[in-house]
Amino acid sequence: MKAYVVEREALVHNIQALRAFAGPVPIWAVLKGNGYGIGLVPFSRILRENGIDRFAVTELKEAETLRENYPDAPILMMRSTADPGEINELLDLGVILTVGCYETAVAINGIAAERAMVAEVHIAVDTGMGRYGFLPEDVDKLISVYEYMKNLRISGIFTHFHSAFSNEKATRQQFELFTALLEKLRAAGCEPGMAHCCNSHAFVRHPEMHLDGVRIGSAFLGRLAFKEKLGLKRVGYAECTVEELRWIPKGHTVGYAAGFKARQQTRIAVIGVGYYNGFAAQRENDLFRFRDSLMGILHHLKNIFFPRKIIVSVNGHKCRILGHVGMVHAVVDVTDIECAVGDKVVVQVNPLNVKGLRVQYR
Ligand SMILES: *Cc1c(COP(=O)(O)O)cnc(C)c1O
């Protein structure tokens, strides 16, 4: 038996804590990547049951699935698209589109005019992420979108922070660029509608940036990079069983590259999860800048000389992984605990990395 277990109670606890912190500010639940790995449909259903019914996605397929399930929920497509096929399908679904540049505005406006309708859109502003969005200095172009595109109903505007998990100063700078742009729009007689910029980290750390709405994904799962966690619980773990138990003699080795050599007789348990399932999967280091990479290298060296112990829970006891984690196997030191074949093993895995495990809500 193997599964990725999502504890419903912890998830509900987090939703409630986040709603309480947001107060009257509406929350867009970001559900990209199959709802961060825990299932678009079951996750969105729990969100709805607990008072969150606005969803933000990046894929047409996700919008389709949500619309089938929730005929009336606001759905925001956060990715700006000028593809006519995609625009038509999104309009059929009644999804709010994102306008990230002038050409996209022209494309959506044209299609909406052909369909004799008005398309609801949000404007994306690029304050440093370098992805979708008008640059703050392109305010004149943006104003002309508000003024001349009669088949667009612009009900919101947003930007996205690139370093809210690590760099408060950069986040503040992006926020200032964004709010200055809002002022310019208002001064020009354009009503920006719902302004939103916070992702999970900015939401938790910068209440002053909540504005008229927030977009939250990882915080629902209690996965934040810093210590202010609003009492959020980490949701989800992999579960498997002890498949084999035995004693290995002194000098015997375990795993590829003989990563562990027994200094004494050792009792080992073989478990059936590995890095393919997301266990001990290497965190991507390319998220960081050169300066951080140096820290990463030092960290790596430290791990070579003082190996980090990977801990799993067998029968409720903390136990150490021996040697390298394999693709679908790992080996645990159970010398000092009582356990039997078939006993339950709990392994910490980020659901985003999970492959090959059935997601099970409990
Ligand atoms: C992923 C994403 C979010 C949510 O980010 P979290 O850090 O998971 O809360 C918000 N906005 C945009 C544009 C995103 O792509």
| Closest ligand 1 atom number to CA of residue 216 | 9
Delineate the domains of the chain, giving CATH numbers in brackets: 8-222 (3.20.20.10), 237-361 (2.40.37.10)
**How many CA within 13 A on the CB side of residue 242?**
25
Could you tell me the pLDDT band of residue 294, with boundaries at 50, 70 and 90? Answer: confident
Q: Following CA atoms 120, 126, 130, 135 in sequence, which dihedral angle do they give, to the nearest 10 degrees? A: 110
β-partners of residue 123 are 99, 157
Stretch 172-187: mean pLDDT: 98
Q: How far apart are CA 3 and CA 38, in angstroms?
A: 12
Q: Does position 291 have pLDDT exceeding 80, yes or no?
A: no
| Closest ligand 1 atom number to CA of residue 58 | 15
Q: What pLDDT shows up at residue 286?
A: 57
Give pLDDT tens digits for 47-85.
999 999 999 999 999 999 999 999 999 999 999 999 999
| Closest ligand 1 atom number to CA of residue 78 | 13
Residue minimizing CA distance to atom 13 of ligand 1: 160
297 C-alpha to ligand 1 centroid (Å)? 28
Compute φ and ψ for 246, nearest 5 degrees: -165, 165
DSSP H helical ranges for the chain: 8-22, 32-36, 40-49, 60-69, 84-92, 102-114, 139-148, 168-187, 200-205, 290-305
Q: What pLDDT shows up at residue 287?
A: 62
Which residues surround ligand 1 with Cβ inside 6 Å? 30, 32, 78, 160, 199-201, 215-219
Tell me the CA distances in angstroms from 209 to 14, 156, 168, 195, one per residue in order.
20, 16, 12, 10
β-partners of residue 156 are 122, 194
Ligand 1 pocket test: pick from 123, 198, 199, 226 the residue with the most ligand atoms within 8 Å of its Cβ. 199
Q: What is the DSSP string of 239-299?
A: EEEEEEEEEE-TT-EESGGG-EE-SS-EEEEEES--GGGTTTPPPPGGGS-HHHHHHHHHH
Q: What pLDDT shows up at residue 331?
A: 97
Q: How far apart are CA 211 and CA 327, in angstroms?
A: 45
Residue type (1 letter), 44: S
25 exposure class (CB count in 10 Å sphere: 0-12, 13-18, 19+): middle
Among 15-24, 26-35, 191-200, 273-282, the minimum mean pLDDT is found in 273-282
- Beta strand pairing status for 266-271 and 359-361? unpaired
Residue minimizing CA distance to atom 3 of ligand 1: 199
Residue-wise burial string across 163-183, b where 16 or more C-beta atoms lie within 10 A, e elsewhere: bbbeeeeebeebbebbbebbe
For residue 70 the two structure tokens come to 């929730």
**How many CA within 13 A on the CB side of residue 87?**
25
Ligand 1 pocket test: pick from 52, 77, 96, 160 the residue with the most ligand atoms within 8 Å of its Cβ. 160
Nearest-5° angle of CA 232, CA 164, CA 123? Answer: 110
Tell me the CA distances in angstroms from 315 to 235, 269, 340, one per residue in order.
20, 12, 9
Ligand 1 pocket test: pick from 215, 220, 224, 229 the residue with the most ligand atoms within 8 Å of its Cβ. 215
252 versus 306: which is more confidently predicted? 252
Q: How far apart are CA 129 and CA 132, in angstroms?
A: 8
Q: What pLDDT shows up at residue 228?
A: 74
Q: How far apart are CA 252 and CA 333, in angstroms?
A: 13
Q: Does position 37 have pLDDT exceeding 60, yes or no?
A: yes
Tell me the CA distances in angstroms from 192 to 5, 134, 196, 199, one per residue in order.
42, 14, 10, 19
Residue-wise burial string across 327-338, b where 16 or more C-beta atoms lie within 10 A, e elsewhere: ebbbbbbbeebe
Q: What is the DSSP string of 151-191?
A: TEEEEEEEE--S-TTT-HHHHHHHHHHHHHHHHHHHHTT--
pTM over 0.75: yes
Q: Does position 306 have pLDDT exceeding 90, yes or no?
A: no
Stretch 314-341: mean pLDDT: 96
Could you tell me the pLDDT band of residue 303, with boundaries at 50, 70 and 90? Answer: confident
Q: What pLDDT shows up at residue 24?
A: 98
Q: How far apart are CA 13 and CA 284, in angstroms?
A: 29
Region of 289 (left: φ > 0; alpha: ψ -120 to 50; beta: rest) is: beta
